[in-house]
Structure 1
Amino acid sequence: MVTLNVSAAGRVSLARGLPITVTFADKKPEEVTVAEVKAAVAAKFPRLYPARQKLTVKGEKKALDDDVTLEDAGITDGAEVTVKDLGPQVGWRTVFLVEYAGPLIIHPLFYYNPGFWYGALVPHSLLQKTVYTLVLLHFIKRELETLFVHRFSHGTMPFFNIFKNSGHYWALSGVALAAAIYSPTYDEYSRYMRGSIRSDPRFIGACVTLWLFAEVSNLHTHLTLRSLRPAGTRQRAIPTGYGFDLVSFPNYFFEILSWVAIAAMTGSYAAWVFVGVSSYTMSIWALKKHKAYRRDFGNEYPKNRKAIIPFVI
């Protein structure tokens, strides 16, 4: 039998009955996981469901992973753990679906209603038609990957973060990009477009080729990452193969490359701002995860592999 004392870390309004004692009959510390402890707490305080809980060893700050056993966490029979309320949670899959839905809604609104936004008809140029198609295909791909390819190591995130995360896509690659690209500046008869390289089908075709290469490569790396994590687990392994021989996160690199293709095609300040912001954000993610790879795998991890930009970062 294993008995644990569970106390509150700070104010936990959904569990005013804390501290409590939870007991696991006929089990040893090596047989009880943190997830089971969370379930026991939730059984007494249903509104404090497991995803809202952060469990830590008494006196420590590091959260305990759900799949870790009490023995592996150094928790013995009769020990005390603390629980913190992380607030309302939302699934990562839901967050991604909402993020990518923004541009899929916003771009058609601007593309098909120029009179409302610009007060004039906009005879769409080849450039505008191409960008519209590429943007929709990109985010449709992201939605399908979210549904059928990605496997998430963390099930949820704080609910209110969905607004912060979605703002990046809805505002920058949604409103800002659509408002700039589908404006009269880029239409069929614009002085800015007439006789410029941006009206040359060969230049547009070259940019589309780069975009297609980046998108297919990005999908390939996502499929590689999926193959490393069996369904329902948080198992990690060293990724290898196409792209991974140069950087830890080629999926981020190819994502940046696809947006560089669109920015180069249009020359739009809005497109380049989105490239800059997204590149910075993904670089921060990549460097943090790259460091975690090196820490977790030690000497097994390739020493010459960069984080996101081959031979650079």
Structure 2
Amino acid sequence: MCMACWRGVARRDPCKAAMSSRISFFEVEILDCKTMRQLCFFDKVEPHLTVNDVKLMFHKCYPQWYPARQSIRLDPKGRSLKDEEILQDLPVGTTATLYFRDLGPQIGWTMVFLTEYAGPLFVYFLFYFRMPFFYGLAKAFTSSSHSVVHLACCCHSFHYIKRLIETIFVHRFSHGTMPLRSIVKNCFYYWGFAAWLAYYINHPLYTPPSYGKKQICLAMIMFLICETGNFSIHVALSNLRQDGLRSRRIPFPTRNPFTWLFFFVSCPNYTYEVGSWISFTVMTQCVPVGLFTLIGFIQMTIWAKEKHYRYLKEFKDYPRLRMSIIPFLL
């Protein structure tokens, strides 16, 4: 409305003009999820503020609970509200009761991935160079006579170096942090399995695959295809967030042929990831690698199904032909 029209409304009905210019403030109380004790109370909170703004206000009262450590909810047992949600859009009255839960110490996702992926890279080399405390002094710093052992080291190193590069230059994280306790668990998983499979692949008594060079070469080709596909999908997903928005979008295939797997599955990055480890298993013909692949496939299937169902729930026009991780099957 232009200023002339506004002055006309004010002259005709001063009461209505005063009412329309009045701002309706919110009152916000925050309770502890467990004890239901009131932690703080804010009056005259502007309705356009976001949940993140409320977290910042709460942080001023309790400096030990920084925003990334806070879970703000509408119900003690409900989901955490997203930082970008606006106060006036929430199903609350002008007096809003919110519930706080401490998520514990947090760490940035970039640091999480760097720690998880740099570890296996370092651990594997300890076994590859046959440090004295693994295979005894007689075999210390010796080299395997089997070419597949050296090829496996190159593939394993390539995989984790690629992951480190993606973490620094490609990935765009929708959530800024991760609980510190989770990184300990994840590092135990990645580092532990890297040590286990590296111990057997680089062992002096290791024997090459049954079908020799044909098996190794075929597995190598499949490994490189899957690694390239995995990288292509990560780039495609990163491009969906180039504008800095955190809102979810439907990923579609691009001109890159490796992204055409989006026609059939919601999470082709997991499909390619599993393919890489299956190839590595065939290449090395090593039981620990196969177990790592199986456990990884189960976990990635769970993640893929969760993401697939979120897509179906959020987008009514989501392609129905797509499965979670395996085309036409799963």
TM-score by length of 2: 0.85
Q: Which residue of 2 aligns with 1:189?
A: none
Task: Kindly provide the CA deviation profile for residues 209-233 of structure 1, in whole angstroms up to 9, marking residues without a partner as x.
Answer: 1111000000000011011123543
Separation in 1, partners of 2:173, 2:44: 29
CA-based RMSD: 1.9
- 2:8 equivalent to 1:8: no
Q: Which residue of 2 aligns with 1:175?
A: 195
Whose radius of gyration is greater, 1 or 2? Answer: 2
Separation in 2, partners of 1:285, 1:210: 24
Separation in 2, partners of 1:58, 1:276: 38
Contact 1:249 1:286 in 2 (8 A): yes
Separation in 2, partners of 1:107, 1:59: 45
- 2:211 equivalent to 1:197: yes
Q: Which amino acid aligns with 1:9?
A: C
- 2:176 equivalent to 1:164: no
Contact 1:104 1:136 in 2 (8 A): yes
Separation in 1, partners of 2:327, 2:134: 41
Separation in 2, partners of 1:216, 1:245: 18
Tell me the CA shift for residue 96 of structure 1: 1.3
Structure 1 residues 82 and 284, CA, compared in 2 at 3 Å: closer, same or farther?
same
Q: Which residue of 2 aligns with 1:276?
A: 294
After TM superposition, list the pairs within 5 Å mapping 1:36-55 onto structure 2: 36-55=53-72
Q: Which amino acid aligns with 2:30?
A: V
Tell me the CA shift for residue 310 of structure 1: 1.3
Contact 1:34 1:69 in 2 (8 A): yes
Q: Which residue of 1 aligns with 2:22?
A: none
Contact 2:208 2:284 in 1 (8 A): no
After TM superposition, list the pairs within 5 Å mapping 1:29-108 onto structure 2: 29=47, 31-58=48-75, 61-108=78-125
Q: Which amino acid aligns with 2:306?
A: K
Contact 2:216 2:282 in 1 (8 A): no
3-state DSSP class of the match of 1:55? strand
Separation in 2, partners of 1:108, 1:62: 43
Q: Which residue of 2 aligns with 1:236?
A: 248
Tell me the CA shift for residue 58 of structure 1: 4.9
- 2:203 equivalent to 1:155: no
Separation in 1, partners of 2:59, 2:50: 14
Q: Which residue of 2 aligns with 1:143?
A: 164
How many residues were matched structurally? 296
Separation in 2, partners of 1:127, 1:23: 69
Q: Which 10-residue stretch deviates more, 67-76 or 258-267?
A: 67-76
3-state DSSP class of the match of 1:87? coil
Q: What are structure 1's unaligned runs of at least 5 residues?
A: 187-191
Q: Which amino acid aligns with 1:137?
A: F
Task: Kindly provide the CA deviation profile for residues 152-179 of structure 1, in whole angstroms up to 9, marking residues without a partner as x.
Answer: 111122211111112221111x111100
TM-score by length of 1: 0.89
Q: Which amino acid aligns with 2:307?
A: K
Q: 1:263 aligns with which of 281, 290, 314?
A: 281
